[in-house]
A and B are shown apart, each in its own frame.
Chain A
Amino acid sequence: MAFVEFHDVSKIYHMGEVEIQALRGVNFEIEKGEFCVVVGASGAGKTTILNILGGMDTLTGGKVLLDGNEISGYSERKLTSYRRYDIGFVFQFYNLVQNLTAVENVELAAQICKNPMDAMEVIEKVGLKERADNFPAQLSGGEQQRVAIARALAKRPKLLLCDEPTGALDYQTGKAVLKLLQDTCRKDGVTVVVITHNQALTAMADRVITVKSGSIKKMERNQEITPVEEIEW
């Protein structure tokens, strides 16, 4: 039994009278400790998958399992707990609280967990020890994303969900962030799911899931993993 399982998942959005079928019969699985990339063009349904996997949205049909728990049947409250204890998020635009310093942003997440990592420790881990007391506005984009990753990691999540983590970053910084994510996966054994439209990132993944028009076009295990440093886009 895989760590993450999507069975026949479908999602229909109602926009007034128009029905939009965002997902139709999606099936895939991800093993524990894998670095998985979900790739697809915009509008293909990646974000819907992320929303559902992240407990931010409900599904219309099918079943979603994480670590053996069926989250597709969760109530609103349970979904919140699920986000709180099981999931770590990394956003495209970092979504740091502007009013909190780097370490405080990490604390914000750590505070609500049962067994969080020490905020300062995580900040050190992502290499921002020197900038711990800076506000987001005083940090570069890459640094902000590191803080965001640190914030996600501090919760010791079962799953780290990253939505276009490099989307707002320049090439070099993007690479550095990807490296951090990959290291996290390898060293700490955290399952990482990266959602991106960037085909180039598939080279570094253990598993690649390609989405197109609301269904899975292809799911494959990457046999030859390219180190982050060698990836180019």
Chain B
Amino acid sequence: MKSMMRKTTLREIRHSLGRYLAILAIVALGVGFFAGLRVSTSAMLQTGDAYLKEHKFFDFRLLSTLGFEQEEVDALKESEELLTAEGAVHTDVIYVGADGEEGVLSTYSIADDVNTLSIREGRLPQKAYECVLDARMQGAAIGQEIRISGNNHDDTREMFACDTYTVVGLADSPIYLNFERGSTSLLSGKVDGFMYLLPEGFDCDYYTEIYVRLPHDYAIYSEDYDRLIDEKEEIIEKLCGQAGTKRYERIVADAAQELADAEKELADKETEAREELADAKKELDDAEEEIRDAKDEIDKKERQLKSSRAQIQSGLAQIAEAKAQLQMMNVTAGPRWEALTAQETELNAGLSAASRGLKQLEDAKAEVAEHEEELADGRKEYDEASADFEKEIADANDKLADARKELDEIEKPDCYTLSRKTNVGYVCFENDVEIVNGVSLVFPVFFFLVAALVCMTTMNRMIEEQRTQIGVLKALGYGKAAIMGKYMFYSGSAALIGGIGGFFLGSYVFPIVLWETYQLMYGFSDTIAFVFDLPLFLISLAVALLCSVGATYFSCCYELGSVTAELIRPKAPKNGKRILLERVGWFWNRLKFLHKVSIRNVVRYKKRFFMMILGISGCSALLVTGFGIKDSMKNLMTKQYGGIELYDVNVTFDDAFDEGDLEEFEGTIRDFADKYLLLNEESVDIETGGVTRNVTLIVPKQEQELSDFISLHTVKGEPIAFPQAGEIVITMKAADKLGVRAGDTVTLFDSDRRHTELLVSAIAENYIYNYAFINEESYTEGLKKEIAYTGCRVNLKDREAFDADNAVISDLDFVLSSSANRTFQERFYGMLSNMDYIVLLVIVSAGALAFIVLYNLTNINITERIREIATIKVLGFYPGETASYVFRENTVLTVLGGLLGLFLGKLLHQYVMFNIDLDAVAFETYIAGKSYAYSIALTFVFAMFVNGMMYFKLKKINMAESLKSME
């Protein structure tokens, strides 16, 4: 007996395979959607997590204005708090690409143990002149040459070991999870991509940053991870500060040492030089004395010679006189004469000797004069050298003094400890996952519901069709359980197979499809993790079974409750009834009666009516939600940048900003700034009732001018007066999270835990980030500290010139960062275009939903009314008329469902937006009018598509059906 029942059950399945498969497919679709979307969030997270773990994504990034050295890195490595620390060089550089155009590349040194690259193509560099380029950069290719432009600042140029680098590989970097490449103060501010070099590729004796990893195994974005980061942040900050200080001390010590060395060298050189000079002087003096001696001697000799010559001449004269006397005496001979002649000859010889001597002396004199000249030259030389030397010494001393001054002027570095939250890609990924999560909360439930309902109507219909058979079985004496078992097995097995298949297919396909759409933004992994969620699996199956078997059970119970005899007789067709609307004569009488038929039919099959309405309204609601998500985000941008943040440039000064800098700043921006407002901007905690929220505190210098830069107003648009002393204005998202309203009291804590109690005077409209505003008095009196202006908001004379003006501001030494509001907006609009994928997903889902519901119900409708339709055809209705006779109901229901869906969509959209909970962004639910129009139009397109398909089914209906007896 049992086996016969089994036989008929299996045969039933075989004979009505279409229907069986329909139930199976609908359950599979419902479960698939449900499971797929639910699992997608986890799959995305797991994929991201696996990727970041594999590539050793940093936990903290330490920055110092002075940089770090290997010693600091080594010291950090010693710390027990850290798993590892690795120094890296990073700088933005202007390069010349293959096309000769200049662009900016963010350049990094390759690290071994943190932020490792995933090579897409090619290999890692092995030589200093090789590099790896951003795989997502436009036109990036292996073999390409990247030339460091001559237009770079000298300091930047000197950081590079080579002028040209050859691309040997294309890679993804975990630092850039999404397509966003950040901005720079170079050129137009746009970064083309990143480039990685070997450490040798840089000619830089320090690291610009240190990447730190902590010993943990927490999943990205997990609460555990956030807690860990919160806990460790302070310690890491301290370590970072220490590292910065050490580097500073070493720089100072090195410089001092160098200075001391230089001083000593100078002193040594001075002494040596002075000795040399003294020697030279002595030599000169000696020479002078020698010359003087020689002159003296010459003089003496001359005098001697002259006197001896005079004697000789007087002797000669005497001889001549004596000779003359002798001549007069005619004595020309004789011994006396001869004696005289001899004497005369002697004297003449003496005379010529004296003359010769004199002549020699003249020569000696000339020689001495020469020496004298030489000496004079020597003296001159000496004087010059001596003067030079003095000057040199003075110069050297000046230089030393400068160096000393410079040494004194080396500032303690500003150190920054940045967590992953400052990495754009990391944060964007979280936001996107959160959006998918929000979407996944709503849509699947919808699909599940529809699957259940469709399953229910189908089984209902089947049991109604088979009531005669049920009656016969009952008449034969089969028990309720046996009869019911057949149908429950039928629907149950379909649901089970469909459920299991749908679950795995959904879990597999959905994340892949979703991932595929996200590939444009996140290229880091080609495949997405497969997640098997056991609880979800069991829940889906349980619900699928409950819906199908439950629906069958109730339908069976209803039929089996009837008397057997009644069951065997064919069921009378559902009676026609007058409907309420007919009482409204003026309306009803004006209708064509074919329209009357449609309206009556709509009301006649109430269950189908509701399902149809549900399906179609679901479709248009999904569409409204999908478009709405995009509208809301777009609207949010418009409001934030068009109505709240009105300034053009946001400038942040470094910690050492002082009066002099302010003067320079004012001087620089005077040319192009229309107005500017100095303000104190710092991160504070606001606490109330045990809830803490981190916000950015803004204290403007001239509070009455704030409205030109930031508009404070309520959501309703009423302007907010700037808070008085003791008051605070908080932006709405933070206020919402804190649960405060105007009139409440909050406590404000600064980073040193100084605190003050303030009265919330108003809640300001704001969508991006969280701010609080207080006046200067509240700040100085409340927190008991001096106010320092850390930033400035600037309005430009020419808003279109924001790029150039911003670059000028960025270039100032004391400006830490400067960003044009417009650049920010443009970037956001760029991200917004990715929402198109979400919208597309929604449109496809909505289409599928509309299709399933309309197709199934129209199909049932046609099957049930096949006699009526055949009769209509026999009566001579043309195919078009027949179709409109049948489909007019669909059209009516599409209109009704579509309109209801617009309303439901508004609610659904609110719910989704409420569930997309991002810390820094407040969503406002806004749906543009045209989105409603698109939604209803698309719903109609879907409905018309189904009608179009059904038209062919109608054409195939055989008129002979009208002749058949009723079964």
Residues of A within 8 A of B (CB): 47, 51, 54, 56-57, 77, 80-85, 87, 89, 91-93, 95, 97-101, 104, 107-109, 111-112, 135-138, 151, 163, 168
Contacts and interface: CB of A to CB of B under 8 A. Distances in A.
B576 interface: yes
Nearest to A167: B965
B875 A89 contact: yes
Interface string B937-967: 0000000000000000000000110110110
Interface stretch (B89-97, B176-184, B591-599): B591-599
Contact of A95 (B594, B871, B881): B871
A56 B572 contact: no
25 contacts: A51-B960, A56-B959, A56-B960, A80-B877, A83-B874, A87-B876, A89-B874, A89-B875, A91-B871, A91-B963, A93-B966, A95-B874, A97-B597, A98-B573, A98-B574, A98-B868, A100-B576, A100-B593, A100-B596, A108-B594, A112-B876, A135-B576, A136-B576, A137-B573, A137-B575
A92 B875 contact: no
Contacts of A84: 875-878
Contacts of A83: 874-876
Contact of A80 (B601, B876, B960): B876
B860 to A, nearest CB: 17
B524 to A, nearest CB: 58
B875 A112 contact: yes
A74 to B, nearest CB: 13
Contacts of A89: 874-875
A47 B604 CA distance: 33
B600 interface: yes
B421 to A, nearest CB: 65
A107 B959 CA distance: 21
A129 B576 CA distance: 19
B630 interface: no
B867 interface: yes
Contacts of A168: 965
Given A57-B960, A91-B962, A93-B966, 12 more contacts: A57-B959, A80-B877, A80-B879, A83-B875, A84-B876, A95-B868, A95-B874, A104-B593, A104-B597, A136-B576, A137-B572, A151-B875
A210 B604 CA distance: 44
Leading 10 A-B pairs by shortest Cβ distance: A84-B876, A83-B876, A135-B576, A137-B575, A95-B871, A99-B576, A56-B959, A99-B600, A98-B576, A98-B573
A1 to B, nearest CB: 25
Contact of B601 (A81, A99, A108, A151): A99
Contact of A98 (B575, B593, B596, B879): B575
A99 B876 contact: no
Contacts of A92: 963, 965
Contact of A93 (B872, B879, B965): B965
B577 interface: yes
Contacts of B868: 95, 97-98
Contacts of A104: 593, 596-597
Contacts of B963: 47, 91-92, 163
B403 to A, nearest CB: 105
A98 to B, nearest CB: 5
B876 A101 contact: no
A98 B868 CA distance: 9
A57 B574 CA distance: 30
Given A47-B963, A101-B576, A104-B596, A85 B876 contact: yes
Nearest to A97: B868
Interface of B: 572-577, 593-594, 596-597, 600-601, 604, 867-868, 871-879, 881, 959-960, 962-963, 965-966
B876 A81 contact: yes
A136 B574 CA distance: 10
A168 to B, nearest CB: 8
A136 B966 CA distance: 15
Contacts of A136: 576
B864 to A, nearest CB: 11
Contacts of A101: 576
A195 B596 CA distance: 34
Contacts of B573: 98, 137
B576 A137 contact: yes
Contacts of A109: 875
Contacts of B881: 112
Nearest to B868: A97
Nearest to B962: A95
A21 to B, nearest CB: 17
B737 to A, nearest CB: 57
Contacts of B577: 135
Contacts of A93: 965-966
Contacts of B965: 92-93, 168
B593 A111 contact: yes
A99 B594 CA distance: 11
Nearest to A113: B876
A111 B959 contact: no
A109 B885 CA distance: 13
Contact of A112 (B600, B604, B877): B877
A55 B593 CA distance: 26
A51 B601 CA distance: 29
Contacts of A138: 575
Contacts of A81: 876
Contacts of B877: 80, 84, 112
Nearest to A88: B875
Given A83-B875, A89-B874, A100 B960 contact: no
Nearest to A138: B575
A107 B593 contact: yes
A39 to B, nearest CB: 17
A47 B958 CA distance: 14
A138 B573 CA distance: 12
A80 B876 CA distance: 5
A65 B963 CA distance: 23
Contacts of B871: 91, 95, 97
B795 to A, nearest CB: 71
A112 B577 CA distance: 24
A168 B965 CA distance: 9
B593 A95 contact: no
Which of A83, A99, A163: most chain B Cβ within 10 A? A99
A93 B570 CA distance: 13
A80 B574 contact: no
Contacts of B867: 95
Nearest to A133: B578
Contacts of B874: 54, 56, 83, 89, 95
A77 B874 CA distance: 12
B962 to A, nearest CB: 5
Given A98-B576, A104-B596, A135-B577, A77 B878 contact: yes
A233 B596 CA distance: 42
A112 to B, nearest CB: 6
B107 to A, nearest CB: 75
A92 to B, nearest CB: 7
A186 B374 CA distance: 167
Nearest to A161: B874
B594 A111 contact: yes
A91 B870 CA distance: 12
B957 to A, nearest CB: 12
A117 to B, nearest CB: 15
Contacts of B879: 80
Contacts of A80: 873, 876-879
B882 to A, nearest CB: 9
Contacts of A98: 573-576, 868
B964 to A, nearest CB: 8
Nearest to B604: A99
A89 B877 CA distance: 13
B594 to A, nearest CB: 7
B845 to A, nearest CB: 35
A81 B876 CA distance: 6
A89 B872 CA distance: 11
Contacts of B596: 100, 104
